[in-house]
Amino acid sequence: MRPEGITWTPSESAGDEPRPPAELRRILALFRPYAGRLGVVGLLVAASAVVSVVTPFLLRAVLDTAIPQGRTGLLSLLALGMIAAAVVNSVFNVLQTLISTTVGQRVMHDLRTAVYTHLQRMSLAFFTRTRTGEVQSRIANDIGGMQSTVTSTATSLVSNLTSVVATVVAMVALDWRLTVVSLLLLPLFVWISRRVGSERKRITTERQKQLALMSTAVQESLSVSGILLGRTMGRSDSLSREFTEQSDELADLQIRSSMAGRWRMSTIGIVMAAMPAAIYWAAGLASTEGAPIVSIGTLVAFVSLQQGLFRPTVSLLSTGVDVQTSLALFQRIFEYLDLPIEIAEPAEPVSVRREDIRGDVTFEGVQFAYHPEQDRPTLAGIDLKIPAGSSLAVVGETGSGKTTLSYLVPRLYDVTAGRVTIDGTDVRELSFATLAEATGVVSQETYLFHASIADNLRFAKPDATDAELVAAAEAAQIHQVIAGLPDGYDTVVGERGYRFSGGEKQRLAIARTVLRNPPVLILDEATSALDNQTERAVQQAIDALAEGRTTITIAHRLSTVRGADQIAVLDAGRVAELGTHEELLALGGRYAALLRREQPAKDTRPGATSPRAGRPSGRLTAQAAIGRSL
């Protein structure tokens, strides 16, 4: 059940406000575990750069010495040296690409798992206020968009920087005057690239937000529920038009992102390509007593180096642009990683073995509010004691806080005042594993994975045997249905279990909880949306599951809770009445009014009640079913 009054999503707030720039140190820290491999890449890059600048010097020797002097032996050695340099350089490039790509993919893996693990620790409140498509987009689109940057940027940065430095040193060694001419415009190029990077970063932020919107639209409208709603409401065409508009806007953003600064970067390329002509022109004009200031071999070698400088310089400038662009993606990822954990496991959690959990549940002065600034808390002054093995039914008007109350026991939410205890221990002190062992929830909205029946059941107990699956299904009164299917327990349930009816899905969920075998059972309006015949079948399964357990039932239909040991009537987040069915009926208060509203034509005198629910005689209980299978 979605809590009321929560509408904030990360994409709606954080996306519209300027975020602080991502810290480069934090980004570099992602590569720290792979420092050794990156060190090897650095050595390969340095060696490759040295080998690359050797070739122009060999070329100068060919033009100035070997050919003019007719030294064929020296010419052969120089030619072989140039070929060897090309081969060695290619081998180094392949090795550094392999290592850097491996490191990049491991960093992306670390990011994906870090985000997923962090989100697994977020409270239920986070997911009620955040769209699923937004979460999926952060993991898929944002991290996926960083692939080229993460896998190649580090290597490209080191490689190009090393190449530039080595080439400039070699150019200075050949002729410092020509080097000065070649580098005059470099500061202008750096300034242009930074402007382009800032522009692309802004567009990338908009593009990722649009991708998140599209992911949300696809996730919501192309699910089974979305298709059913769209078809039955006649909105299929309008949904297609809305998606088309979103896709068109995304296409425009992609074009803007690709073309941002493209002309300015092309200008840099044109200028860099024209530099050899400028070098030849400058060398031709400069002469000493009619003779060139540099030899032909030196001039050709220098131009070769200058052309070699062009590629890493442009690549280095482009890498700077890519880094600035990727900052927008890193910011979105870090935004999720920085989300505070609202419900955290204590530093020294209390762990209790399953067999030692009795199931005494107590609410002591409990208060809860979804927001600190809430005018009126959702729950206030709740004091309840539920002895082990007994049952409590919680009833009341819609919005009175029934579901919220039950979700405090498994710590899906944390109280804002007071405490909830299991066997006298505050649930906030228990380990998450103990809480999972102690509590089980069967809700109205049953969720089944798109997998086989057996896989769905084993989600509760991965090591469950086939006999245990059958015993749990029998306890939930669903085994005969499963046995009648062609593939039996290997039948794939379909998206969200839509191959099964509502009652069958509920009984599968009950069977899954039977396997979990929790001492404390929470039933959140598990039969409110079912027809009478299906409700009876599901109720019988619930009765078998509830036998011998501490049971908290959130009831919509009061006929299902008459046999509860206690019935708590909530009104505006407070316990207005507490007692048995007969006691509350005799009181003639809110409970009696609710009952009259539900069954106005039936006799509601104390002696006219049905037998106590939840304790049928002669029925196979969950424990007995599991025990028989063992």
What single-letter DSSP state applies at residue 400? S
Same domain, 329 and 375: no
The model's confidence at residue 532, banded by pLDDT at 50, 70 and 90, is low
Q: What is the predicted pLDDT for the residue at 101?
A: 80
- The CA-CA-CA angle for residues 7, 10, 151, to 5°, reads 155
- Structural contact between residues 404 and 552, judged by C-beta atoms closer than 8 angstroms: no
Residues 6+ apart with CB under 8 A from 355: none
Q: What is the predicted pLDDT for the residue at 387?
A: 93
Domain CATH number, residue 33 = 1.20.1560.10
The model's confidence at residue 272, banded by pLDDT at 50, 70 and 90, is low
- Structural contact between residues 82 and 58, judged by C-beta atoms closer than 8 angstroms: yes
What is the spatial distance between Cα 573 and Cα 415, in angstroms, rounded to a whole number? 13
Q: What is the predicted pLDDT for the residue at 50?
A: 79
Which residue type does 596 have? R
Say if 5 falls within a structural domain: no
Q: What is the predicted pLDDT for the residue at 62?
A: 83
- Structural contact between residues 326 and 146, judged by C-beta atoms closer than 8 angstroms: yes
Same domain, 234 and 259: yes
Cα-trace Rg, the chain: 36
Say if 521 falls within a structural domain: yes
Same domain, 291 and 431: no
Token digits for 573? 């987040």
- Structural contact between residues 361 and 386, judged by C-beta atoms closer than 8 angstroms: yes
Token digits for 427? 């649930």
Residues 6+ apart with CB under 8 A from 401: 368, 378, 379, 570, 572, 573
- Structural contact between residues 575 and 383, judged by C-beta atoms closer than 8 angstroms: yes
- Structural contact between residues 325 and 390, judged by C-beta atoms closer than 8 angstroms: no
What is the spatial distance between Cα 449 and Cα 496, in angstroms, rounded to a whole number? 6
Tell me the sheet residues that pair with 431.
none
Tell me the sheet residues that pair with 575.
570
Question: What count of other Cβ atoms lies within 10 Å of the Cβ of residue 460?
Answer: 19
Whether the pLDDT of residue 414 is over 80: the answer is yes
Query: pLDDT (tens digit, 9 = 90+) per residue, 369-388?
Result: 888 777 788 899 999 999 99
How does strand 417-422 pair with strand 520-524? unpaired
Say if 10 falls within a structural domain: no
Residue at which a domain ends, from 281, 309, 337: 337
Please name which of 385, 378, 386 lies closest in space to residue 416, comparing C-alpha atoms: 378
Q: Of 316-320, 345-349, 378-382, 625-629, which range is least confident?
A: 625-629
Same domain, 363 and 283: no
Query: pLDDT (tens digit, 9 = 90+) per residue, 487-503?
Result: 889 988 876 666 787 77
> What mean pLDDT do residues 43-50 have?
80
Same domain, 205 and 253: yes
Compute CA 317 distance to the chain's CA centroid, rounded to the nearest angstrom: 32
Domain CATH number, residue 457 = 3.40.50.300
Same domain, 96 and 194: yes
Which residue type does 113 have? T
Say if 377 falls within a structural domain: yes
Same domain, 216 and 110: yes
What single-letter DSSP state applies at residue 602? S
Q: What is the predicted pLDDT for the residue at 315?
A: 66
| Three-state secondary-structure class, residue 444 | coil
Query: pLDDT (tens digit, 9 = 90+) per residue, 179-236?
Result: 776 776 666 666 666 666 667 667 777 776 777 777 767 766 665 556 655 665 666 6
Same domain, 366 and 330: no
Q: What is the predicted pLDDT for the residue at 192?
A: 67
Say if 346 falls within a structural domain: no
Q: Which domain holds residue 61?
A: 24-337
Same domain, 327 and 406: no
What is the spatial distance between Cα 85 and Cα 87, in angstroms, rounded to a whole number? 6
Say if 74 falls within a structural domain: yes
Say if 309 falls within a structural domain: yes
Say if 480 falls within a structural domain: yes
Residue 438 CB-half CA count within 13 A: 26
In order of 181, 286, 307, 313, 534, the CA distances from 185 in angstroms are: 9, 20, 15, 12, 80
> What mean pLDDT do residues 432-455 have?
85
Residue at which a domain ends, from 337, 367, 398: 337
How does strand 361-368 pair with strand 417-422? antiparallel
What is the spatial distance between Cα 376 and Cα 70, in angstroms, rounded to a whole number? 99
The model's confidence at residue 106, banded by pLDDT at 50, 70 and 90, is confident
- Which range in 98-102, 124-128, 421-425, 625-629 is most confidently predicted, on average pLDDT? 421-425
Same domain, 118 and 251: yes
What is the spatial distance between Cα 546 and Cα 12, in angstroms, rounded to a whole number? 43
Kind plus residue range of the DSSP H or E element containing 2: none
Counted domains in the chain: 2
Same domain, 310 and 378: no
- Structural contact between residues 333 and 381, judged by C-beta atoms closer than 8 angstroms: no
What is the spatial distance between Cα 476 and Cα 587, in angstroms, rounded to a whole number? 36
Three-state helix/strand/coil letters over 315-381: HHHHHHHHHHHHHHHHHHHHHHHCCCCCCCCCCCCECCCHHHCCCCEEEEEEEECCCCCCCCCCEEE
Q: What is the predicted pLDDT for the residue at 613?
A: 40
Kind plus residue range of the DSSP H or E element containing 121: none
Query: pLDDT (tens digit, 9 = 90+) per residue, 546-577?
Result: 778 899 988 877 777 888 899 999 988 899 99
What is the spatial distance between Cα 200 and Cα 328, in angstroms, rounded to a whole number? 9
Name which residue leads in pLDDT, 370 or 625. 370
Residue at which a domain ends, from 306, 337, 368: 337
Which residue type does 40 have? V
Whether the pLDDT of residue 159 is over 50: the answer is yes
Q: Specify the length of the chain in residues.
A: 630
Which residue type does 92 have? F
Percentage of the chain exceeding pLDDT 90:
10
Same domain, 381 and 326: no
